[in-house]
Chains A and B, each alone.
Chain A
Amino acid sequence: MAYDTSNQKEYYQDPSKYGSYQFVSLYDIIESFMAIYVGEEKIIGKASRLDVAFFAQRALAEMSFDTFKSIKSQQITLPNTQIMTLPHDYVNYTKISSVDASGVKHPLYPTRHTSNPFQIRQAEDGSYDFPSNSDLVANSDFASGALHKWSDSYEYRVHGSAGSPNTPLSLSTPGEKFMYSQVVDNALEHVLTPSYLQGFEAGSARATWQKIDTTNIDYIDIEAQAITTAALAGTTNVNAATTANDSAGNVMSSVNNFTVSNGNYYAADSGNSGGIWPQLSAIIGNEGTSNALDIPLTTVRVGVSTNPGQIEALLWPGPGSLYPSQNGSPSIFDIDYIEWTAGEEGFKNLYGVDVRQYDFIYIIVTSTAEWDNTPWGEDKASAFVKTRIDDITVKNSYASNEIQERSTLAGTSSTWEKYKSQQPVELRNEDYEDDVFFHQAGERYGIEPSHAQVNGSFYIDELRGNIHFSSNISGKDVILDYISDSLGTEEEMKVPKLAEDAVYKHILHDVISARRNISVGQQMYYKRQKFAAVRKAKLRLSNLKIEELTQILRGKSKHIKH
C-alpha cells in the first residue's frame, strides 16, 4: 500500500523525475475518484468517467487560476518590434519584468493610456475604402527587415565556429546557421544545404508561409518575383590543398573541390574533418582525392493551399509523415501555385484563383534543392545554394465587401507606431525649472504614482495575442510570469499533493450539482466541503513559514524603511 514505490537510484539518476513526488497526475485523481466516490453504496451511484474527467479538468483550471502556485514563465530578448507573443498556454500574467545586468528583475507596469486598435483603411476624403486589389499578405515586401507575420520551417545550426565566406579553415555559416531563411535587402532568402541522415544523402526544401483570411473573398490574384539558380557540375580541379586529420587520425587531403560562381553559391574548405558532423568523418571515402560536388538547380514555388508549409525541411527519405519534407513537392499546394526553376527569375503571376469554398488559406513559398548523388565529404557541410523571393502579393480580384485594415503590416495601427517610437514619459525628467514654471521651483504636485518609475511599461493586445512594450525596453531581456489553466498534455496535467483533497472535493461538488433531484441541502453541504478544502489548499500553497515571517517582522523596528 505504500505510495512511493519508485526506485531511489533511478530517481536520483533521472533529472526529469526531480521533484515529481510533490505532484499527482490528474489521471490518477480521476481513477481514484471513480473507485472511491462512484459505485453502489458510494456517494455517487453512477457517473460516466468522461463526466468526471470533464469536471476534473475544470477543477484543475479553476484552481490553477487562484490556488496553485504560478510556476510558468518565459524570457525573451525583446526585438526591435517591441512585441512579445503571448505563450500558447497563456491565460493571464502575474508579473512582467525586465532584467538588468545583475540578473535582477525590474517590474514593468501596465499602461492604460494607449492601445493598438484595428485601424480602418480610409480614402483620401476620409471615407472608408473598400478596394479591389488590396494586398491580403502582411509584410509582403519584407520591408520590415524581418520575417514578421511569416512562419518558417526549422532552421539548422552548425556545431562549431562560424567563419567568413571564401576563407579556408572556417565554415561559411553566418550566425552559426547553415539552413535557414533570412531577409536580406528587403527580400526573402532561403539557404539550402544537403541533408545527410542515417546513411541517406538528400537535399532540402524550406517553406515560409502565412495564413490569410478569405472569408468574404471569391477570387484572388497571386504575384511574386523570385531568383533561382541552374545546376552546376562539380570540378576536381585542385586549386589549393590543406591537410587535416579525420577522426580516426588518418591524414587526409582536404581540398576546394568546386568553383564559387555568381555569388549565389559558396563552398568553403573547412579544413575540419567531417564538417558539422565530425562523428561521421570516417565515412569519407575519397581520402586523398578531390570530390566533384555537383550543385543542384533550385526551384521556387509560390502558391496557396488549405494547409500550412511543413516545419521539417529535410528531403531525407526517412520513415513517418515528416520525411521527406512535402515542401519539395508541388502537391503541398492543393489550390494553385506558380514556379521558377533552373535559373528562371523575375515576376510571375496567377489570376482569378477560386477561393470561394475556403474561409482561410495559406500563402506558401517553397524553395527546393535536391542534393542527389553527391559524394559525402566535409565540403558538403558548408555547401549551400540560395534562392530569393520578394513582393509576394495575394490580392482580391474584385472589390472587397469588408472594411480593410490600413496597414500592410496587419495588426499595426498608427497609435502603436507612435507609442513605440516615443521616449516613455517616465524617462522624460522634466524639472520645469524654466521661465514658465520658475515660480514653482522645487514643487511637484499631482504626480501619478503608476508613472513614477523608470522601469518601463507594457500593454497587452488580447485580440491579437501580443504584449507591447515601451521603447526603453527594446533589446532588454523580458520575463513574463504567467498562469495557465494547466490543461496541456496529459503528462502536464498534474496537481500539487497539497491540493489533492481540494480537487476531489471540487469534482464531487461539481458532479453532484450537475445532477437532478439533488436537494439544496445536499448541494450546500458539498459546496461547503469544497470551499473549506480549497481554502485549506490555498493556505498550504501560500507557503507561509513562521521563521521567514519572523525574519521579515524583525525589520519592523528599524527606523528607516522603504
Chain B
Amino acid sequence: MVNVNTVYQTVLALADKDQGGYITPQEFNLFANHAQNEIFEQYFYDLSQFKRVPGNQSDNADMTGLIKDKLSLFRETILSSGENTPALPDNFYRVMNVSYGDNRITCEQIERADQTYYTTPLLSPTKHTPIFYMLGSTDNSGVIHRSVQVRPSVNTFSVHYYRKPAKPNWTYVVSQSAKKPLYNATASDHQHFELHPSEEKNLVHKILQLAGVSTKDFNTAQFANAEEVKSIQQEKS
C-alpha cells in the first residue's frame, strides 16, 4: 500500500514550485487512478519480458519473483456453487487459473472456439485434464459480465484471478479558514494506492508527467519522464 496523501503532497511540492502549478484533489485523483492502472498493467508485460531472461535463485533479487510478489497483492479466489459458473465480480481483471479438488487439479485454458477440437478420445478433457474457457455477456445496461465454463462439469471449482486495484481517492474537507481542502483520511470513500510500497516513486513520476501536461509545465513533465526512464534503465538493465 502506498499512502495517497504522501504521494499527493510530494506531487504538489514538485509541481507547485512557483505557485503556478497547483493540482486540485479532483485532478490528482484522476491522475492517480490513471498512473496506478498503468503501473499495474505494466506488471504483466514485465513478467513476460523477464521470463525470457535468466533469473536467479534469490526471490528478493529475481525480477520475476519481484513482479510476482507485487502481483500477489491482487490475487483473489472465488468458489463456484456446484456446477454453476461463478459470476465474476466487477473488479475482476485477469484470470490466473481455475482449479478443483482442493486446488490439486488445474484446468487448462482454451479459447471457446477451440473446444470443438478437443473432442477426440485422446484430447477430450477429463477429470484429470479439465479445460476452461471464459465467457462474456452483456446485460441490458450494456455492462459486460465475465464468467467461466469448466469441462467436464465438476461439482465445485475455484477461479483464481487478479482483481483491479481499487481507485485511489484523496478525500478532503474544505476548511473555511484556510480556504483550501484539508486531507480527511477518515472519509468513508477514502482509498490509498494498493500497489506495492516500492511503487511510490513511480507513482509520483507518472502523476507528475500527467500533471505537467495538464498545467502545460513541460519542465516538470520532462523531469518526471527522465526520472522514470532512469528508473526503468536501472531495473531492467
A28: min CB distance to chain B, Å:
10
| A490 and B122 in contact, given A49-B108, A50-B110 (Cβ under 8 angstroms) | no
Stretch at the interface among A53-61, A251-259, A382-390: A53-61
| Chain A: CB-nearest residue to B131 | A50
Question: How far is B129's CA from A30's CA once the two chains are assembled, in angstroms?
Answer: 9
Q: Are B55 and A49 in contact, CB atoms less than 8 angstroms apart?
A: no
Q: Are B64 and A50 in contact, CB atoms less than 8 angstroms apart?
A: no
| A487 and B128 in contact, given A40-B55, A41-B54, A48-B108 (Cβ under 8 angstroms) | no
Interface residues of B, count at CB 8 A: 18
For A65, list chain B residues within 8 Å (CB). none
Question: How far is B128's CA from A53's CA once the two chains are assembled, in angstroms?
Answer: 10
Question: How far is B131's CA from A57's CA once the two chains are assembled, in angstroms?
Answer: 17
For B84, list chain A residues within 8 Å (CB). none
| A40 and B108 in contact, given A49-B129, A50-B123, A490-B126 (Cβ under 8 angstroms) | no
For residue B94, CB closer than 8 A to chain A, the reply is no
Determine which of B51, B64, B127 lies in contact with A490 in the assembled complex, contact meaning CB atoms within 8 Å: B127
Question: How far is B127's CA from A48's CA once the two chains are assembled, in angstroms?
Answer: 16
Contact flags B28-63 to A (C-beta < 8 A → 1, else 0): 000000000000000000000001101100000000
For A40, list chain B residues within 8 Å (CB). 51-52, 55, 64
User: With contacts defined as CB atoms under 8 Å apart, how many contacts are there between chain A and chain B in the complex?
Assistant: 34
Contact flags A448-489 to B (C-beta < 8 A → 1, else 0): 000000000000000000000000000000000000000100
For A57, list chain B residues within 8 Å (CB). 122
For A27, list chain B residues within 8 Å (CB). 128
For A41, list chain B residues within 8 Å (CB). 54-55
B222: min CB distance to chain A, Å:
37
Determine which of B54, B55, B106, B129 lies in contact with A53 in the assembled complex, contact meaning CB atoms within 8 Å: B129
Q: Are B110 and A49 in contact, CB atoms less than 8 angstroms apart?
A: no
| A50 and B125 in contact, given A40-B51, A40-B55, A41-B55 (Cβ under 8 angstroms) | yes
Which residues in window 37-72 of A have CB below 8 A to B? 40-41, 45, 48-50, 53-54, 57-58
| A50 and B108 in contact, given A40-B51, A487-B121 (Cβ under 8 angstroms) | yes
Question: How far is B120's CA from A487's CA once the two chains are assembled, in angstroms?
Answer: 13
Question: How far is B121's CA from A54's CA once the two chains are assembled, in angstroms?
Answer: 9
Question: How far is B36's CA from A329's CA once the two chains are assembled, in angstroms?
Answer: 66
For B108, list chain A residues within 8 Å (CB). 48-50
Interface residues of A, count at CB 8 A: 14
| A50 and B129 in contact, given A40-B64, A57-B122 (Cβ under 8 angstroms) | yes
Q: Are B123 and A54 in contact, CB atoms less than 8 angstroms apart?
A: yes
| A54 and B55 in contact, given A30-B129, A49-B108, A490-B128 (Cβ under 8 angstroms) | no
For B131, list chain A residues within 8 Å (CB). 50
Question: How far is B108's CA from A49's CA once the two chains are assembled, in angstroms?
Answer: 6
Q: Are A54 and B122 in contact, CB atoms less than 8 angstroms apart?
A: yes
Q: Are B122 and A58 in contact, CB atoms less than 8 angstroms apart?
A: yes
B30: min CB distance to chain A, Å:
37
For B218, list chain A residues within 8 Å (CB). none
Question: How far is B123's CA from A470's CA once the two chains are assembled, in angstroms?
Answer: 41
| Chain B: CB-nearest residue to A490 | B128
Question: How far is B57's CA from A41's CA once the two chains are assembled, in angstroms?
Answer: 12
| Chain A: CB-nearest residue to B108 | A49
B147: min CB distance to chain A, Å:
21
Determine which of A48, A49, A487 lies in contact with B122 in the assembled complex, contact meaning CB atoms within 8 Å: A487
A130: min CB distance to chain B, Å:
37
Among B118, B126, B129, find the residue whose CB has the most chain A CB atoms closer than 10 A: B129
For A487, list chain B residues within 8 Å (CB). 121-122
Question: How far is B126's CA from A27's CA once the two chains are assembled, in angstroms?
Answer: 11
Question: How far is B129's CA from A48's CA once the two chains are assembled, in angstroms?
Answer: 10
Contact flags A2-46 to B (C-beta < 8 A → 1, else 0): 000000000000000000000000010010000000001100010
Determine which of B55, B118, B121, B127 lies in contact with A50 in the assembled complex, contact meaning CB atoms within 8 Å: B118
Question: How far is B64's CA from A50's CA once the two chains are assembled, in angstroms?
Answer: 26
Determine which of A45, A49, A58, A490 lies in contact with B106 in the assembled complex, contact meaning CB atoms within 8 Å: A49
Question: How far is B106's CA from A49's CA once the two chains are assembled, in angstroms?
Answer: 9
| Chain B: CB-nearest residue to A53 | B129
Contact flags A258-274 to B (C-beta < 8 A → 1, else 0): 00000000000000000
| Chain A: CB-nearest residue to B55 | A41
A5: min CB distance to chain B, Å:
15
A46: min CB distance to chain B, Å:
9
| Chain B: CB-nearest residue to A493 | B128
Among B55, B108, B125, find the residue whose CB has the most chain A CB atoms closer than 10 A: B108
Question: How far is B105's CA from A53's CA once the two chains are assembled, in angstroms?
Answer: 13
A444: min CB distance to chain B, Å:
53
Question: How far is B126's CA from A476's CA once the two chains are assembled, in angstroms?
Answer: 41
A25: min CB distance to chain B, Å:
9
| Chain B: CB-nearest residue to A50 | B108
For B123, list chain A residues within 8 Å (CB). 50, 54
For A30, list chain B residues within 8 Å (CB). 128-129
Question: How far is B64's CA from A57's CA once the two chains are assembled, in angstroms?
Answer: 33
A556: min CB distance to chain B, Å:
48
Question: How far is B131's CA from A53's CA once the two chains are assembled, in angstroms?
Answer: 12
Question: How far is B121's CA from A178's CA once the two chains are assembled, in angstroms?
Answer: 39
Which residues in window 50-109 of B have CB below 8 A to A? 51-52, 54-55, 64, 106, 108
Which residues in window 160-218 of B have CB below 8 A to A? none
B100: min CB distance to chain A, Å:
14
For B54, list chain A residues within 8 Å (CB). 41
| Chain A: CB-nearest residue to B64 | A40
Question: How far is B124's CA from A54's CA once the two chains are assembled, in angstroms?
Answer: 9
Among A27, A30, A40, A490, find the residue whose CB has the most chain B CB atoms closer than 10 A: A40
For A48, list chain B residues within 8 Å (CB). 108, 110
27 A-B residue pairs with CB within 8 Å: A27-B128, A30-B128, A30-B129, A40-B51, A40-B55, A40-B64, A41-B54, A41-B55, A48-B108, A48-B110, A49-B106, A49-B129, A50-B108, A50-B123, A50-B125, A50-B131, A53-B122, A53-B128, A53-B129, A54-B123, A57-B122, A58-B122, A487-B121, A487-B122, A490-B126, A490-B127, A490-B128
Rank and list the top 6 A-B pairs by shortest CB-CB distance, nearest first: A40-B51, A53-B129, A49-B108, A27-B128, A57-B122, A54-B122
New A-B pairs, 9, CB < 8 Å, besides A30-B128, A50-B110, A50-B125: A27-B128, A40-B64, A49-B106, A49-B108, A49-B129, A50-B118, A53-B128, A58-B122, A490-B127
